[in-house]
Structure 1
Amino acid sequence: MKKLLSFFGGIIIIMIVLIICSSNLQRKSGAKTAANTLTIYNWGDYIDPELLKDFETKTGYKVNYETYDSNEAMYTKIQQGGTSYDIAIPSEYMIEKLISENLIEKLDHSKIKGLNNIEPQFLNLDFDKNNQYSIPYFWGTLGIVYNDKLVEKAPSHWSDLWDKKYANNLMLVDGAREVIGMGLNSLGYSLNSTDINQIDEATVHLKDLTPNVKAIVADEIKQYMISDEAAVAMTFSGAAASMLEENDHLHYVVPTEGSNLWFDNMVMPKTVGNKKAAYEFINFMLEPENAKKNAEYVGYATPNAKAKELLPDDVKNDKQFYPEADTMKNLEVYKDLGKEWLGIYNDKYLQFKMYRK
């Protein structure tokens, strides 16, 4: 009996040793994997895939690339902290929110090379003073794309979209801030308004727009416009650029009275597992040649002055996507209005959508 107990005792000891060894190997393997991997969380189709391959070749890191379709989806996953994202690319109002909730890292500018390539007008903005937490990636506008085959006179103001000639011929981006903001701008108000009377007035005004609305969609808006299925649409500048490439009859305008000026910047979430790789990626994307290549692929405006110089003349001089100062001065960046006001915007937008039905 004692021999039997001794035998089983020996087996148990061996098993414990094997488990400890296996655990140590897994920890070492995990550490090695983390040290050689860069995990990026970004919008879909928002980087030239060739650049990711170039980065892997140049640095030896393996890139894990995950995507999201809204700032809110990105925020939820970063807040939960289940994945160690090294780089994320949120928009300005969400960066402001992430900073306030201590969900992103303060950057060490001594490790960043090429920040001087960024145009000064895109640095030190209100949502991130002195760029302590974020580095510019792309910027753009919200405007109107129209089809000259289906439109006699080009629209140039948000108020033009209420014209009865666009009955069942208008496409809208599916977004509360965008649609309510358009309603506010069309009445001469700020798209960041926290005046409930102004927001109510804009909501009522938007109800008058519903006979013109053919559909409220997301990325599908590109194909609708390319296929001549609507005369006009509200869309973002980068999406418009893609449409214009596919259909010569499409044109993009930014309402001079006011619209959204947006920025997407690179940040490091608090869950960052590989800061060294994250800094190398930021520096890689700040290199003019890489920023230029990315701008050509994605279609949005680059904040990188040296990269812009490398772009073809017909691109960098295109006022549709690089507006003049007179237009830029009336554009507004979305602010983080807080949970209460965001809820109001969402409720008013839902009322508009329900009324349309």
Structure 2
Amino acid sequence: MKKTLALILGLTLTAGLLSGCVSTRETDSTDADGSGAETTGGVVNVYNWGEYIDESVLTDFEKATGIKVNYQMYDSNETMYSKVAGGGAEYDVVIPSDYMIARMIEEDMLEPLNFDNIPNFADIDPNLLNPAYDPENLYSVPYMWGLLGVIYNKTMVDEEDLGSWDLMWNEKYADDILMFDNSRDAIGIGLKRLGYSYNTTDETQIKEAVDLLIEQKPLVQAYVMDEVFGKMEGGNAAVGTYYYGDYLTMAENNPDLGFYIPEEGTNTYVDAMCILKGAKNKANAEAFINYMCSTEAGLKNCEEIWYSTPLMSVREELDPEIANDPYAYPDEEIMAKCESYAGLPQNILDLYDSEWTRLKSAT
């Protein structure tokens, strides 16, 4: 769903990004960590969100299996989709969000999984199985999940202004508000503020939400994705909206930051591992997915990136303060305020594109 792209260029895993290549690393083909993982060799090409993994897990996987990981990163579902759909690069594993998985299934872009090769799937939280975006669980394995909310600087925002999406439209914080730079999330926030569903196909409601965003535009300092990290951590904005796992990272660097779930409701999302149609390294891709679902790898990833784990064994290993965090692992009361994205028909996707252009060109 999402970490700072500015940091990506510094990662040793992505030395090839600037030239359009993926990075590879030489490893031993022995079971170096004693995990018992089968040594198969070959490669696996992985396309994931930026800063969305513990780097050491990739090295561990390579040592355990002898499979080299070619690893590249993106900053949004739409970026990933455009690159994959355009046929400009060959990947085996991609990790889209729920609504994008639904679209890719509809467009026959994903390969059905052989779960005999993914035995660790048995550890997935039953509440995340057979989701609306993949009803028969044929194409995806949950990687991380979480909630969207409002992040604010407690030294800059008055306490009485908290609780609603209205804060993102409050003129008191003009030029100190950060808004999503992608159509699904931004328009979704407008829809929620109006009391509508994220998944409405009512064209009038969608246009009304964009009208609301156009009204907000003069107050917005910047439309951002991962740039939100530097701005909120540095105290350069008062209000933003992003994912709870990323908020925890930001708050670690700036304790003045706070977070809340808007009373009108918000998004709960799942990012899941999938294999692209016609992947050349399908067996290696399934080995990678299975390894990501091991307790060891899952715990490392969870403790590194702060997102909520779908693995039951990992949650049992977490520090109780984290495992009982009401926003990381919300109860039914909080979940009742949440709605997942669903796939939308093509005419509505086209409308999102044209309405997003209308917003961006508005003066």
TM-score range, shorter chain: 0.7 to 0.9
Counterpart CA distance in 1 for 2:295 and 2:261 is 27
Match for 1:102: what amino acid? Answer: D
3-state SS of 1:131 partner: coil
Q: 1:296 to 1:167 in 2, by over 3 A?
A: same
1:95 pairs with 2:137: no
Structure 1, unaligned stretches of length 5 or more? 1-33
Match for 1:313: what amino acid? Answer: P
- Kindly report the root-mean-square deviation, in angstroms, between the aligned alpha carbons of the 2 structures: 1.9
Partners of 1:179 and 1:349 within 8 A in 2:
no
- Pick one of 183, 190, 193 that aligns with 2:197: 190
Partners of 1:162 and 1:212 within 8 A in 2:
yes
Q: 1:72 to 1:200 in 2, by over 3 A?
A: closer
Identity %: 40
- 1:255-287 deviations in Å (ceiling 9; x for gaps): 242211111111111232222222221111111
- Pick one of 265, 269, 281 that aligns with 1:274: 281
Structure 2, unaligned stretches of length 5 or more? 1-39
TM value normalised by structure 2: 0.84
Counterpart CA distance in 2 for 1:238 and 1:348 is 29
- Residues 178-257 of structure 1: matches in 2 within 5 Å? 178-257=185-264
Counterpart CA distance in 2 for 1:123 and 1:310 is 21
Task: Indicate the residue corresponding to 1:36 in structure 2.
Answer: 42
- 1:283-315 deviations in Å (ceiling 9; x for gaps): 111112210110111221111121122122222
Q: More helix by proportion, 1 or 2?
A: 1
Partners of 1:91 and 1:263 within 8 A in 2:
yes
Moved more, 93-102 or 67-76: 67-76
1:148 pairs with 2:169: no
Partners of 2:147 and 2:327 within 8 A in 1:
no
Task: Indicate the residue corresponding to 1:315 in structure 2.
Answer: 322
Task: Indicate the residue corresponding to 1:85 in structure 2.
Answer: 91
Counterpart CA distance in 2 for 1:175 and 1:84 is 24
What is the Cα deviation at residue 183 of structure 1? 0.8
Counterpart CA distance in 2 for 1:196 and 1:79 is 26
3-state SS of 2:135 partner: helix
Match for 1:275: what amino acid? Answer: K
TM value normalised by structure 1: 0.85
Counterpart CA distance in 2 for 1:353 and 1:80 is 24
Moved more, 312-321 or 264-273: 312-321
Count, aligned residues:
323
Over alpha carbons, which structure has the higher Rg?
1
Counterpart CA distance in 1 for 2:304 and 2:137 is 26
Task: Indicate the residue corresponding to 1:176 in structure 2.
Answer: 183
- Pick one of 135, 138, 143 that aligns with 2:144: 138
Partners of 1:93 and 1:336 within 8 A in 2:
yes
Counterpart CA distance in 2 for 1:245 and 1:313 is 18
Match for 2:253: what amino acid? Answer: E
3-state SS of 1:204 partner: helix
Match for 2:280: what amino acid? Answer: G
Counterpart CA distance in 2 for 1:213 and 1:68 is 24
Q: 1:353 to 1:78 in 2, by over 3 A?
A: closer
